[in-house]
């Protein structure tokens, strides 16, 4: 199937995909903990029976059982070397029973490994891992690829790149969302949609983790930004415990009732996940097959994103600032730290500019004495882990730009693409491949334009080539090319004319490098501010500037207010008279996502904290070593360092996480910073005062090989001083209870990610009760709920690592 054929299919009618595979195979004898690929190959009748039932029920597309067929997953069962044969044979089983006129999709999913910098898996290694599986699948032949049950936007990007760099088949990407409407890493459905469709996928969706009722709000978030069809593949409700077994009680009629609402909200492709059956699909098809498909509108979207935030670029919206500070030009101290391999100032600049009201952060690593490409990559890793703002990638080197765009977990802004023939097309192709927006710089190989007509010519040269390569005109922001007024008296007037041309004739936003206008002049801040005020009144959209400049930020806010832009008066009125750093910590208009909104900020949360505690809050592993060693040298009691500095810092991290100001990357960064500090203190604790804390035995239950959440809980508990025994993953109930009784552990912590393994938690509860184990048992994981805790008789439930620490403290009393 070609991509056009797939799009035409979805434009012709509502399309149906299959239902649950795992729960159906369990009905046919597949036990928890076995390698699913091996079991399927040993029992081919089972998968073919399930898939034939789905085709018969009306599914147009059925997924080949290649869900965990990557080298990383197969290696956990010692089967990685047979990857090609496994994937080919799994695809062949589905192809053998696929009726004419129906389709077979390859199924690709997460590896369970965390990507760098949160884990040790490098992005390019993950792309290669997916490519290996894709190539094996293509040897047998499929009609399309479905990348499903994804929790990480960056892992989605890796899978999409692997597929698109290997073939040209249609791609559906489906993520799973937590009850708060975001992924584990803090990505909202609209952000995921914007990023992935800009990379050229053919359908966006969601599956697993919830029933169809809870998906309605998610579809409503996606629909306004979607330029591709929307897929919904919900569970048959939430799992419940009945006679010692996990069951899904939402029947086909109730399931389809809820899915009809998803159709009304904009979904065009339907199926089922955990607990759904061929009967669910049959009812879906019966009720929805005659409904007209939703027409997909290829609407232009002027928006850049990070993994956790969208920043909309509105021609008539509030003025925006691209923070310019992460640029070594003219900054000797910054240059020195970069040459020494330290990125501490990069992170400081990023956080500071976010707090001062920047909307986007420019990252430029152009200087002598460093590897610019590697430093750019390292900086992106650090900045994206520390702040929520989208990035503007600033380099003139095509190879550096591609390396940066490849690992950036969002939709970036390229700075910049000129009419210089040698670089224009390669840079535009990068924008197309990685889904970026770009700044158009009206220059050519001959240098500066000699007049306004030539400037317009350069702008249109870039725009025309962009459209020719498949980009949209609306992907561009035009740099008005500010020259110094001290050398060219009409420099300001030329910029104003360019703003008028771009806004009113081309309908494009504009940007400028603000400080250029005053170069070589005295009292530059007055020239910059006056120029900015006039430019904003003429329609300038944004400037690359230093948000620390109070006069600039206040005057821009005042100009917006006088022009009656949305939210401008409220924004200006909220600006403090003295403490300007709070001026626009949450810019009015133009921003949505994790960083939007008022209330608690990192800056306010850090007020009154020691430097060591702030290092924990901000994830500064380098600086915390220096500060903790200094405290030790000054004779500060190790227990005081822990209680008054490290613990206070991690408490703030937990508070920011609870308030949804922090997500998994910042939580891990803070925990790692604290762990770094703790390791310096541990040798001194033998003589330190303080009662030892409780022992916690923690494990992922038998049959489940996912351990991200469990590892994070273990790390957080260790940082709070608990004696944590991490048994790993896929651990039988008897072994867990053995260890808890051996160590007289106060707490047993259990993790499960899959609905197919969650019942193993009940086995641990039963085992502990039968053997008289006195340990309190707490549970958690993506599929776990408070009601499930009550059903199996566990003592506590936590939805995340921060809550786990609180729960343990409540249960043990300290």
Per-residue pLDDT at 372 exceeds 80: yes
Per-residue pLDDT at 260 exceeds 90: yes
696 and 682 within one domain: no
**What number of H helices and E strands is found in the chain?**
33, 26
What is d(CA 582, CA 545) in angstroms, rounded to the nearest whole number?
17
3-state SS class at 84: helix
| pLDDT tens digits, 344-359 | 999 999 999 998 889 9
Q: What is the mean pLDDT of the chain?
A: 90
Average of per-residue pLDDT across 274-287: 97
Residue 162 domain flag: yes
535 and 420 within one domain: yes
* CATH of residue 359: 3.20.20.20
| pLDDT tens digits, 211-255 | 999 999 999 999 999 999 999 999 999 877 777 677 888 999 999
Per-residue pLDDT at 706 exceeds 80: no
Residue 647 domain flag: yes
* CATH of residue 779: 3.40.50.280
What is d(CA 259, CA 149) in angstroms, rounded to the nearest whole number?
19
543 and 446 within one domain: yes
Confidence tier at 711 by pLDDT (50, 70, 90):
confident
Enter the tokens of residue 576: 């403090």
559 and 513 within one domain: yes
Per-residue pLDDT at 284 exceeds 60: yes
Q: What is the DSSP string of 733-788?
A: HHHHHHHHHHHT-SEEEEE---TTTTHHHHHHHHHHHHTT---EEEEE-TT--HHH
Confidence tier at 797 by pLDDT (50, 70, 90):
very high
| pLDDT tens digits, 170-196 | 999 999 998 889 998 999 999 999 999
281 and 378 within one domain: no
| Higher-confidence position of 654 and 765 | 765
What is d(CA 693, CA 716) in angstroms, rounded to the nearest whole number?
14
Amino acid 489: pLDDT:
83
704 and 681 within one domain: no
What is d(CA 386, CA 749) in angstroms, rounded to the nearest whole number?
29
Q: Is 274 annotated as a binding residue?
A: yes
Residue carrying the six token digits 């604290």:
674
| pLDDT tens digits, 8-18 | 999 999 999 99
Find the domain containing 783 and state its range.
691-812
Residue carrying the six token digits 């697993």:
208
Per-residue pLDDT at 658 exceeds 90: no
The residue out of 578, 611, 627 marking a domain boundary is 578
> CB-hemisphere CA count at 13 Å for 323?
26
Amino acid 585: pLDDT:
32
Alpha-carbon distances, residue 68 vs 130, 388, 705 (angstroms): 11, 31, 11
Amino acid 692: pLDDT:
61
Amino acid 687: pLDDT:
43
Residue 776 domain flag: yes
Residue 596 domain flag: no
Q: Tell me which range, 419-433, 551-565, 581-595, 721-735, is most confidently predicted by mean pLDDT.
A: 419-433
Residue 510 domain flag: yes
- The total number of structural domains in the chain stands at 4
3-state SS class at 694: coil
What is d(CA 441, CA 478) in angstroms, rounded to the nearest whole number?
6
Amino acid 594: pLDDT:
41
Q: Is 555 annotated as a binding residue?
A: no
| pLDDT tens digits, 580-610 | 333 333 333 344 444 433 467 888 888 889 9
Rg (CA), the chain: 28
415 and 557 within one domain: yes
Amino acid 589: pLDDT:
35
| Higher-confidence position of 686 and 455 | 455
| pLDDT tens digits, 754-782 | 776 788 898 899 999 999 999 999 999 87
- Percentage of residues in the chain having pLDDT higher than 70: 95
| pLDDT tens digits, 636-652 | 988 788 888 988 888 88
Amino acid 596: pLDDT:
39
- The four Cα atoms 152, 380, 170, 225 give a dihedral, to 10 degrees, of 80
Q: Is 208 annotated as a binding residue?
A: yes
* CATH of residue 612: 1.10.1240.10
Amino acid 572: pLDDT:
80
In terms of pTM, does the model score above 0.95?
A: no
411 and 507 within one domain: yes
């Amino acid at each position: 199937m070609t991509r056009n054929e797939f799009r035409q299919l979805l434009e012709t009618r509502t399309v149906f995909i299959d239902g649950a595979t795992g729960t159906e195979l369990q009905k046919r004898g597949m036990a928890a903990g076995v390698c699913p690929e091996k079991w399927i190959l040993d029992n081919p009748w089972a998968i073919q029976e399930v898939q034939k039932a789905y085709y018969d029920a009306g599914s147009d597309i059925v997924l080949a059982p290649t869900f965990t067929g990557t080298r990383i997953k197969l290696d956990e069962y010692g089967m990685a070397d047979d990857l090609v044969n496994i994937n080919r044979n799994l695809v062949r089983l589905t192809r053998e029973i696929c009726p004419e006129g129906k389709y077979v999709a390859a199924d690709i999913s997460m590896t369970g490994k965390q990507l760098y910098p949160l884990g040790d898996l490098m992005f390019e290694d993950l792309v290669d891992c997916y490519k290996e599986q894709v190539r094996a699948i293509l040897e047998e032949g499929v009609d399309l690829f479905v990348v499903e049950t994804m929790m990480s936007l960056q892992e989605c990007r890796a899978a999409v790149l692997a597929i698109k760099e290997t073939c040209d088949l249609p791609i559906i990407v489906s993520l799973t969302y937590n009850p708060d409407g975001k992924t584990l890493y803090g990505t909202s459905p609209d952000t995921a949609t914007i990023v992935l469709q800009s990379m050229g996928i053919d359908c966006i969706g969601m599956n697993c983790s919830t029933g169809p009722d809870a998906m309605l709000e998610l579809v409503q978030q996606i629909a306004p930004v979607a330029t591709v069809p929307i897929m919904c593949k919900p569970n048959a409700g939430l799992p419940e415990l009945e006679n010692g077994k996990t069951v899904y009680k939402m029947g086909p009629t109730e399931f389809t009732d809820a899915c009809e609402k998803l159709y009304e909200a904009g979904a065009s492709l339907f199926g089922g996940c955990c607990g759904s059956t061929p009967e669910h699909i049959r009812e879906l098809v019966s009720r929805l097959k005659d409904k007209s498909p939703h027409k997909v509108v290829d609407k232009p979207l002027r928006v850049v994103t990070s993994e956790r935030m969208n920043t909309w670029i509105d021609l008539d919206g509030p003025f925006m600032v691209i923070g310019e500070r992460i640029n070594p030009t003219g900054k000797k101290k910054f240059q020195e730290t970069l040459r020494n391999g330290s990125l501490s100032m990069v992170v400081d600049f990023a956080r500071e500019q976010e707090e001062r009201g920047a909307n986007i952060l420019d990252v430029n690593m152009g200087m002598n004495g460093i590897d610019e490409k590697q430093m750019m990559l390292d900086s992106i890793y650090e900045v994206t882990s520390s702040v929520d703002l989208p990035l503007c990638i600033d380099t003139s080197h095509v190879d550096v730009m591609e390396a940066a765009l490849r690992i950036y977990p969002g939709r970036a802004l390229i700075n910049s693409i000129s009419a210089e023939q040698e670089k224009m097309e390669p840079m535009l192709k990068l924008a197309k491949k990685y889904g970026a927006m770009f700044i158009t710089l009206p220059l050519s190989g001959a240098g500066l334009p000699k007049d306004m007509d030539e400037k317009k010519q350069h702008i249109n040269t870039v725009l025309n080539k962009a459209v020719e390569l498949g980009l949209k005109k609306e992907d561009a922001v035009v740099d008005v090319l500010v020259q110094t007024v001290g050398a060219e008296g009409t420099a300001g007037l030329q910029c104003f004319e360019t703003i008028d041309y771009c806004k009113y004739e081309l309908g494009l936003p504009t940007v400028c490098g603000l400080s250029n206008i005053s170069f070589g002049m005295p009292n530059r801040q007055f020239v910059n501010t006056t120029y900015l005020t006039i430019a904003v009144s003429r329609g300038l959209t944004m400037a690359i500037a230093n948000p620390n400049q109070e006069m600039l930020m206040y005057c821009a806010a005042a100009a917006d207010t006088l022009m009656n832009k949305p939210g401008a008066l409220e924004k200006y009125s909220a600006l403090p008279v003295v403490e300007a750093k709070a001026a626009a910590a949450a810019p009015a208009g133009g921003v949505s996502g994790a960083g939007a909104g008022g209330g608690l900020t990192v800056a306010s949360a850090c007020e009154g904290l020691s430097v060591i505690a702030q290092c924990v809050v901000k994830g500064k592993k380098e600086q915390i070593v220096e500060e903790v060693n200094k405290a030790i040298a000054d004779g500060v009691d190790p227990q005081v360092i822990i209680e008054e500095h490290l613990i206070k810092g991690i408490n703030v991290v937990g508070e920011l996480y609870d308030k949804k100001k922090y997500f998994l990357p910042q939580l891990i960064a803070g925990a790692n910073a604290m762990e770094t500090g703790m390791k310096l203190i541990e040798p001194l604790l033998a003589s330190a005062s303080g009662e030892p804390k409780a022992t916690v035995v923690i494990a992922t239950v038998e049959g489940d090989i996912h351990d991200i959440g469990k590892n994070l809980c273990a790390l957080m508990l260790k940082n709070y001083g608990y004696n944590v025994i991490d048994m790993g993953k896929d651990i039988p109930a008897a072994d867990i209870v053995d260890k808890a009784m051996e160590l007289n552990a106060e707490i047993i912590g259990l993790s499960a990610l899959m609905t197919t393994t969650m019942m193993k938690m009940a086995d641990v509860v039963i085992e502990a009760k039968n053997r008289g184990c006195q340990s309190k048992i707490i549970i958690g994981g993506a599929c776990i709920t408070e009601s499930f805790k009550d059903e199996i008789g566990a003592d506590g439930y936590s939805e995340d690592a921060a809550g786990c620490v609180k729960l343990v403290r409540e249960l043990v009393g300290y």
